[in-house]
Amino acid sequence: METIYLIFVIVLFILAVSDLVVGVSNDAVNFLNSAIGARAGSFKVVMAVAALGVLVGATFSGGMMEIARSGVFNPEMFNFSDIMLIFLAVMIADVILLDTFNTLGLPTSTTVSIIFELLGASVAISLMKITASDSGHTLSEYINSSRALAIISGILISVVIAFTFGALIQYLTRALFSFRYERRLKYLGGVFGGFAITSIVYFILIKGAKDAAFMTPEAYQWITTHGGTILLSSFVGFSIIFQILHSLFKVNILKIIVLTGTFALAMAFAGNDLVNFIGVPLAGYESYKAFVNNPGIDPNLFPMGSLREAIKTPIVFLLAAGVIMVITLYTSRKARSVIKTSVDLSRQDEGQERFGSTPLSRAVVRLSLNVSENLSRFVPEKLKSSLSKQFVQPPHDKNDTDVPAFDMLRAAINLVVASGLIAFGTSLKLPLSTTYVTFMVAMGTSLSDGAWDRESAVYRITGVFSVIGGWFITALSAFLLSFTLAIIFFYGGYVSIFAMIVLAVFLVYRTHVLHHRKEEREESARREVMEINNENILDTCTGNITEILSQTQLEYKRCIDAVSEEDIRSLKKTKKKVEKLSAKAKERKNNVPIIISKLREDASEAGHYYVQALDYLREIIHALNFIVQPAHDHVDNNHKPFTQPQTGELKLLSQHMGKLMTHVSTDIAEKNFNNQEFIISEQQKILGMIDLFRKNEVRRLKKNASSTRNSLLFMNILQESKNLLLFIVNLYKAQRDFVTYHEMRKNVGN
């Protein structure tokens, strides 16, 4: 019996390693986004500073481990076998859930996930025990509801506090320093740097050192007794040092503050969030030690009240976890996807927005504008004018792709405020979500900095709501997933446990593959945009056209064949491929401003032809989509199939359309437009064919030879095929003009 539970403990630690990897991939955004967004240093320097912070912070986690042992449930109400089922369900659910969010590139909360997973699994086992016995116990006796509610309340309150503090402090700082802060740093830089570093010292040393694995009670007592002296000395000392560095040695003190803040936030993250990854396996390990110390006892009868005892976590476990976290920081691609989401939502400049617009975000923006206009009436014009000057951004080259997402001043405020709040929460043993705090601080500072202007506010707010919505989904998903797994394990026994472990491994591998493919597509698209210039814009445009035309030809034929044969599987594949085509065309269209800005002034005509070609390509894909979508819905709804005459006409149309697209694609690829008259004559022939088929369908309708839905779909395919044909020939002519212009420019240059 001991052997199987030893295996379970080993599995818990293996899952802990996996959880550390997927968890850090998500939480890396918390301490890296400010330094990376502001370009405070090279990527290697930022990572080295963060890695050092993680290693140091890992030793601060000892006192937080009780959250996993008794923070959510009352351990004395559960037996050893119950506890192991709970812990296994929690760890498997956590790995699956966090990896899913990483793949989507959304920052979520490892704190919320672990708490609600513990809650879900313990509620499930509690209900099973209550149902199976006549003891008269209630659910409230099993669950530490007051502690759980306090933890959840602390997390929710931290969201409001983080956003408010971030917005307020950033507004005051920007009003004092403005965007042209270099001049004022000459006089106030030392004081600002001293205050920033002293804040970090206060929250990390005074408030966060109590539970460090290396901290003795005597040392901590000395620190707290001399807290005022330490703070005053730090402020005066650092202020003098920073003023000297800035005035005499021209050192960028904001860069020092940002890197120090990155270290502090990484340290706070490791101190606060390490419990989310290894707290449960360590609790399982302590449970197993208590069990083996009582040989011969039945695991189903051995109560786990010992988990309430204070246990000092061995520093070797903490350091090992820190090393794994550091390795993950350097190797995880998913971490960079999550960081990109956070940086994009807080960047100062406009650009391609990841999120769309929703009625809620539009309503919020409209309400904010109305409130702002009404309040501005009560502000004196002189004060309003003076403040507005402080928020005027200096001009920069929009073609420069190496511009930071935001400046060092905002990055410094992000890090100082967030690290302070998190370290303070850690000292109170409140597992504040580092994701919630850092994300909301960043959003608050973005708002105060004017990053959310009327051009981008609606999209940024949609993004924030999407992330916050993801947090609520995290809580619900974590509870339901661990609840379900605990029930499966309770009834399914050992077989179900090992089956779910295998499934979890497969799901993580699968999401890794999907994320890798997504990264490759994004990198390919980014490379295409960056490589376009005056010399290769025609070749790039030609390549895009031939690629999309060949895919359009293939999917059009597949659609006609599939709808004629009622092949729903083929139609589903075609529908997905057309959706991908549409997304790719939309992305290229969205990148037009970047591409046009890179072209020389004398190449504006080339930009015009490029935009025109993209417009026609989008219309071609729209027409194809308006054929595929109704065809898919028709077959999916099991409506009557096409009649034999309808099928024959559609297949004949498909053959002629395919031949025409082949000729057009070949001519464009070879830049040879001598077959223009032939192509136009073929177009007219197909248009006449479409008119004839439409008249035939009208006759069939009059004779009741086809059903209403069949006829509507048939007519729709004819009409969209006509649109497709017109746009293809227009694209052909536009590309002909583009090639002619390019040849003329080349001859003029020679």
Considering the domain architecture, whether residues 501 and 575 belong to the same structural domain is answered as: no
- Rounded-to-integer distance, Cα 85 and Cα 123, Å: 12
| Half-sphere exposure of residue 40: CA atoms within 13 angstroms, side-chain side | 30
- Rounded-to-integer distance, Cα 627 and Cα 690, Å: 15
How buried is residue 454: exposed, middle or buried, by Cβ count under 10 Å (0-12/13-18/19+)?
A: exposed
User: Which distant-in-sequence residues (6+ apart) come within 8 Å of 267 by Cβ?
Assistant: 53, 54, 56, 57, 60, 204, 208, 419
The pLDDT > 70 percentage for the chain reads 86
Considering the domain architecture, whether residues 19 and 139 belong to the same structural domain is answered as: yes
The amino acid that residue 608 corresponds to is H
Partners of 704 in the β-ladder? none
Strongest mean pLDDT among 370-374, 385-389, 614-618 = 614-618
The mean per-residue pLDDT over the stretch 547-563 comes to 93
- 554-558, 605-609, 637-641, 728-732: least confident range: 605-609
Question: For residue 553, is pLDDT > 90?
Answer: yes
Number of domains in the chain: 2
Does residue 18 belong to any structural domain of this protein? yes
The gap from C-alpha 345 to its chain's centroid, in whole angstroms, comes to 10
Q: Are 138 and 130 in contact (CB under 8 A)?
A: yes
Q: Are 190 and 242 in contact (CB under 8 A)?
A: yes
Which of 521, 542, 570 is the endpoint of a domain?
Answer: 521
Considering the domain architecture, whether residues 504 and 572 belong to the same structural domain is answered as: no
Partners of 73 in the β-ladder? 143
Alpha helices in 250-332 (DSSP H): 253-292, 315-331
The mean per-residue pLDDT over the stretch 461-482 comes to 83
Does residue 463 belong to any structural domain of this protein? yes
List the structure tokens of 124.
């499930």
Which of 466, 492, 521 is the endpoint of a domain?
Answer: 521
Does residue 703 belong to any structural domain of this protein? yes
User: Which distant-in-sequence residues (6+ apart) come within 8 Å of 577 by Cβ?
Assistant: 551, 555
Q: How many CB atoms lie within 10 A of CB 680?
A: 13
Q: How many CB atoms lie within 10 A of CB 279?
A: 26
The amino acid that residue 490 corresponds to is F
Longest CA span, the chain: 99
Task: For helices 333-346 and 434-448, give the axis angle rounded to 10 degrees.
Answer: 30
pLDDT at 485: 95
CA angle at residue 145 from 139 to 146, to 5 degrees? 145
Which of 486, 521, 556 is the endpoint of a domain?
Answer: 521
Considering the domain architecture, whether residues 240 and 306 belong to the same structural domain is answered as: yes
**Residue 419, helix vs strand vs coil:** helix
Question: For residue 130, is pLDDT > 80?
Answer: yes
Does residue 672 belong to any structural domain of this protein? yes
Query: What's the domain range around 283?
Result: 2-397+413-521
Does residue 539 belong to any structural domain of this protein? yes
Of 450, 422, 424, 444, which is closest to residue 434 (Cα–Cα)?
422
**Residue 60, helix vs strand vs coil:** coil
- Rounded-to-integer distance, Cα 105 and Cα 95, Å: 15
Does residue 689 belong to any structural domain of this protein? yes
The mean per-residue pLDDT over the stretch 389-410 comes to 73
The owner of tokens 């001293």 is: 194
Q: Are 283 and 87 in contact (CB under 8 A)?
A: yes
Strongest mean pLDDT among 100-114, 371-385, 478-492, 735-749 = 478-492
Question: Which CA distances in Å does 485 have to 20, 282, 492?
Answer: 21, 20, 10
Measure CA of the first residue to CA of the last residue in the chain; give whole Å.
Answer: 87
CATH number at residue 638: 1.20.58.220
Task: For helices 408-427 and 145-177, give the axis angle rounded to 10 degrees.
Answer: 150
Q: What share of the chain is helix, strand, coil (3-state, %, to 5)?
A: 80, 0, 20
The mean per-residue pLDDT over the stretch 487-501 comes to 91
List the structure tokens of 511.
């999401």
- 284-293, 410-419, 604-613: least confident range: 604-613
For the chain, how big is the Rg over CA atoms in Å? 32
Does residue 45 belong to any structural domain of this protein? yes
pLDDT: is 531 or 85 the higher one? 85
> For residue range 644-666, what is the model confidence (pLDDT) as tens digits?
999 999 999 999 999 999 999 99
pLDDT at 622: 93
Q: Are 479 and 117 in contact (CB under 8 A)?
A: yes
- 208-212, 316-320, 576-580: least confident range: 208-212
- 235-249, 468-482, 556-570: least confident range: 468-482
Considering the domain architecture, whether residues 579 and 707 belong to the same structural domain is answered as: yes
pLDDT: is 409 or 538 the higher one? 409
Of 584, 585, 590, 563, which is closest to residue 574 (Cα–Cα)?
563
Considering the domain architecture, whether residues 476 and 617 belong to the same structural domain is answered as: no
Considering the domain architecture, whether residues 557 and 514 belong to the same structural domain is answered as: no
- Rounded-to-integer distance, Cα 245 and Cα 252, Å: 8
pLDDT at 745: 75
Considering the domain architecture, whether residues 201 and 314 belong to the same structural domain is answered as: yes
The owner of tokens 């580092």 is: 434
Residue 242 backbone zone (phi > 0: left; psi -120 to 50: alpha; other: beta): alpha
- Rounded-to-integer distance, Cα 514 and Cα 527, Å: 20
> For residue range 8-22, what is the model confidence (pLDDT) as tens digits?
889 888 888 887 887
pLDDT at 741: 85
pLDDT at 606: 79
The amino acid that residue 499 corresponds to is A
Considering the domain architecture, whether residues 485 and 510 belong to the same structural domain is answered as: yes
The string of DSSP letters for 203-235 reads IIIITT-TT-TT--HHHHHHHHHTHHHHHHHHH
Mean confidence (pLDDT) of the chain: 83
pLDDT at 147: 67
Considering the domain architecture, whether residues 291 and 235 belong to the same structural domain is answered as: yes
Q: How many helices (H) and strands (E) does the chain have?
A: 25, 0
User: Which distant-in-sequence residues (6+ apart) come within 8 Å of 559 by Cβ?
Assistant: 571, 574, 624, 627, 628, 631
**Residue 391, helix vs strand vs coil:** coil
pLDDT at 457: 77
Considering the domain architecture, whether residues 559 and 500 belong to the same structural domain is answered as: no
> For residue range 284-327, what is the model confidence (pLDDT) as tens digits?
888 899 899 888 888 888 988 888 876 667 778 888 888 888 88
Question: Which CA distances in Å does 519 have to 3, 21, 106, 337, 447?
Answer: 43, 19, 15, 9, 30
- Rounded-to-integer distance, Cα 273 and Cα 259, Å: 20
Question: For residue 604, is pLDDT > 90?
Answer: no
Question: For residue 500, is pLDDT > 80?
Answer: yes
Considering the domain architecture, whether residues 600 and 572 belong to the same structural domain is answered as: yes
Q: How confident is the model at residue 603 (pLDDT cuts 50, 70, 90)?
A: low
The pLDDT > 90 percentage for the chain reads 27
